Amino acid sequence: MSKSTFSSERKKTPRENWNFFIAFVRKEFYHIFRDRMSMLILLVMPILMLILFGYALNTEVKNSKIAVYDPSHDEVTRALVEKLQVNNYFVLHKMLKSPDEVDKCFKSGEVAMIIVFSENFYENLLHGGHAQIQLLADGSDPNTASTITTYATNIIAGYQQDLLKMDKIPYQITPEIKLLYNPSMVAAYNFVPGVMGMIILLICAMMTSVSIAREKENGTMEILLVSPMKPLYVILSKAVPYFFLSIVNLFTILVVSVFVMGVPIAGSFFWLIVLSLLYIFVSLALGLLISSVVNTQMAAMLISAMGLMMPVMLLSGMLFPSENMPVFLQLIGDTIPAKWYIEAVKKIMIKGLGVGAILNELAVLTVMAVALISISLRNFKIRLE
Amino acid sequence: MILKYLIEKEFKQIKRNKFLSRLVFIFPFMMLAILPQAANFEVKDINLCVIDNNHTTYSQRLVQKIAASDYFHITTISTDYRQALKSIELDKSDIILEIPGTFEQDLIRNQVANVMISANAVNGMKGGLGSSYLAGILAEYNSEIRVELMPSTPKLAQSGMEITKIFRFNPELKYKYMMVPAIMVMLLTMICGFLPAFNIVSEKENGTIEQMNVTPVNKFTLILSKLIPYWVIGFIVLTICFGVAWLFYGMWPKGSLLTIYLFASVFVLAFSGLGLIISNYAKTLQQAMFMAFFIIISFIFMSGLYTPVDNMPQWAQYISDISPLKYFIRVMRLVYLKGSSTADLIKPFLTLCGFALIFNTWAVLSYRKSSN
């Protein structure tokens, strides 16, 4: 009602429209700057999250606690236990006195692996009997279990060769292992792009959807909509300040990941920025979409935080490789913008590939941006009539 | 007595909020049904690209042996390294195995042959584990050949120590067994952490908190009345979780349900206390949301849900020590997979009690009835 009366009164010049728009954007900036606490959270949170997760999300197994049951207690078993502790993979947590303690040790969750030697170990080894070592690993963490048993097996095998004192083993095939892109196996290389994708998406979507829902909840949305501005611009003016805020976030994230986390930007900086700006745009559009379907801040927050966080964390390939998932989850994952962004960032930032390698991702993100913007704008228009 | 009415009021508010009550029932169901299938970090189905420059029986036997293993799929056969690298760049393969042209000659005449393994280590876990699996197969093949070529090897060099690997509690190393109990804790955290955090603040924003403040109800009762509904919700969510885990994954705790409920009751108390602290300090709903979000997501990541706490640097481990999630996730996994009893878990229990006590005292103390 009110809208049609206003707009039919007089046609506004583009210049007036522009001034209105700028005024609305400024108003939105005031909102942000006034609430110091929220602004601080928005600017500092991404940095803290990146540092925290970049270091915490470490899949490299080290300092695993082990227990040893050694009934034989001879020089070989003692040397082996020593040998296991030399590099930082294992820490001897305790020596068990009887096999009955094995269960208890696992049940209190103290150790990740228990090594059990057979009796008269050295004797048997010398005389061709059964010198047995059992590696009992706690399978409740599968990757740690298989990693540490592999490590332990290698260490034991290495010791065995020392023991045999063979300088040259006949017919030896030696593998030369080369780790591409990430020679020192820094976990951050894998996780930083993921954390970037998650933080940008969550912050953008959360910020816009909550701020629009807030106007709705306080009833001020009505006031904005009866203003002479077209609803399209009202909504866009909400997104503009957050776009700038996200760019600030993007740069701090990049600075932190390069200078603090030591993750290099191997490829083109220009294309990384282009890609990220596109992604920020998609995330803001997603926020607009969320705010068009909810009416309260709480609902906006719950949808953008919980509803987005879980799928992004789990389905986007940020933590778990998407090729391991069942096909229907991979398909769901394909609809998450973060998945495409993270893939593309890995290609440009870590692998140092050219823009040719990410054309696919760029195209998908562009389509997503257009689709999200048009859907959310249509939704907003419906609400006005 | 007054507590009863206050609690009744809270429940009415929760029930009236359709979105909330639906969330409590549907969210756990959806998350638990879908997420464990996605949260799969198993390293298998590694795509291998083979460059066999040798083309002899020895090199072909090696390739066959690798193809026969569970871990590897040979997806690409390439002729030069450049082309193979391209397939890694396009994510078509994860590891390149290059067998040099002089492989057989080196092995038979010089007794030492090299092969090149180049792994994509962007995902360090996959690259590292994958290349060590490959090295393991290579070593096996190596000793096979050695026995063939020199049947008179000393016994010691052939067999030596027998190493057996046994994976307890999860012999097939299924990742979901690790994730399901932890996801339950995560759900409980999100529901019982977020909701109370918003409760008092939204009353502040609506102005209804004033009405509460001018009543003779004391702070303690007021906070208690806010806590108890979330406590009940926590139990409902947990019970739904048990059902879903059994229905979808056939998982039922090896230990006793009572142990889990006991821990959950303390954990939920601690976490909703934390939520209330946030809502006491936040002025607007937006602030409360951002704070709650940051705290919860940090706790989740630092808790060992995805990556073991032991792998973290020392300072990060100290941070994870103050996350109640860390203890509860550990307990859940222990009870679910290993059947630990309460007696085994006294330490985490006392720690959680400590958290509950500290958080809730703090919540009561930081609540201001009078405005200054």
Q: What size, in residues, is chain A?
A: 385
Q: What is the CA radius of gyration of chain A?
A: 29
> Where does CATH 3.40.1710.10 sit in chain B?
46-158
Query: Cβ atoms within 10 A of the Cβ of B159, count?
Result: 14
A and B: number of Cβ contacts within 8 A:
342
Nearest-by-CA chain A residue for B337:
A140
Q: Is B310 on the interface with A (CB under 8 A)?
A: yes
* Distances, alpha carbon B170 to alpha carbons A68, B49, B174, B252, in Å: 21, 31, 7, 14
Shortest CA gap B105–chain A (Å): 11
Q: Is B202 on the interface with A (CB under 8 A)?
A: yes
The tokens for B265 are 């009751």
* Candidate from A140-149, A172-181, A359-368, B230-239 with smallest mean pLDDT: A172-181
Q: What residues of A are in contact with residue B110 (Cβ under 8 Å)?
A: none
What is the distance in angstroms between the CA of the first residue and the CA of the last residue of chain A?
A: 8
Could you report the per-residue pLDDT of A241-282, keeping only the tens digit for each?
888 888 998 999 899 988 888 888 888 899 999 999 999 999
* Distances, alpha carbon A335 to alpha carbons A124, A215, A286, A312, B196, in Å: 60, 29, 12, 10, 32
Residue B57 contacts by C-beta under 8 Å, 6 or more apart in sequence? B104
pLDDT of residue A11: 66
Mean pLDDT over A10-33 rounds to 80
Could you report the per-residue pLDDT of A206-246, keeping only the tens digit for each?
888 888 888 888 777 777 777 777 777 787 888 888 888 88
Could you report the per-residue pLDDT of B268-317, keeping only the tens digit for each?
989 888 888 888 888 887 788 878 888 888 888 888 887 788 778 888 88
pLDDT of residue B371: 60
Return the bridge partners of A161, or none: none
* Candidate from A123-132, A291-300, A366-375, B349-358 with smallest mean pLDDT: A123-132
Per-residue burial over B76-100, b = 16 or more CB atoms within 10 Å of its CB, e = otherwise: bebeeeeebbebbbebebbbbbbbb
pLDDT of residue A24: 84
Q: Is A41 on the interface with B (CB under 8 A)?
A: yes
Q: Is A267 on the interface with B (CB under 8 A)?
A: no
Per-residue burial over B177-206, b = 16 or more CB atoms within 10 Å of its CB, e = otherwise: bbbbbbbbbbbbbbbbbbbbbbbbbbbbbe
* Distances, alpha carbon A115 to alpha carbons A69, A118, B170, in Å: 6, 10, 17
Nearest-by-CA chain B residue for A49:
B298
Q: Which fold has domain B46-158?
A: abc type-2 transporter like fold (3.40.1710)
Q: Residue A138: which of B159, B168, B301 has the nearest Cβ?
A: B168
What span, in angstroms and rounded, lies between the C-alpha atoms of B152 and A210?
77
Alpha carbon dihedral A276, A281, A285, A287, in 10-degree steps, equals 60
Choose among A67, A68, A70, A78: nearest CA to A118. Answer: A70
Question: Which B residues 269-308 touch A at CB under 8 Å?
Answer: 282-287, 289-291, 293-294, 297-298, 301-302, 306-308
Question: Which B residues 125-144 touch A at CB under 8 Å?
Answer: 125-129, 131-136, 138-139, 141-142
H helical segments located in chain A: 2-9, 14-34, 36-56, 75-86, 101-107, 121-126, 142-164, 187-218, 220-225, 231-255, 269-293, 297-301, 308-315, 327-334, 337-345, 359-384
Query: What are the structural domains, with CATH classification, of chain A?
Result: 2-57+186-384 (no CATH), 64-164 (3.40.1710.10)
pLDDT at A173 over 80: no
pLDDT of residue A17: 77
Confidence band for B261, pLDDT divided at 50, 70 and 90? very high
Question: Which A residues 307-366 touch B at CB under 8 Å?
Answer: 309-310, 314-315, 319-321, 323-326, 329, 333, 346-347, 350-351, 353, 357
Mean pLDDT over B166-174 rounds to 80
Strands B46-52 and B112-120: unpaired
DSSP string, B165-205: EEEES-TT--HHHHHHHHHHHHHHHHHHHHHHHHHHHHHHH
Q: Residue B289: which of A171, A210, A319 has the nearest Cβ?
A: A210
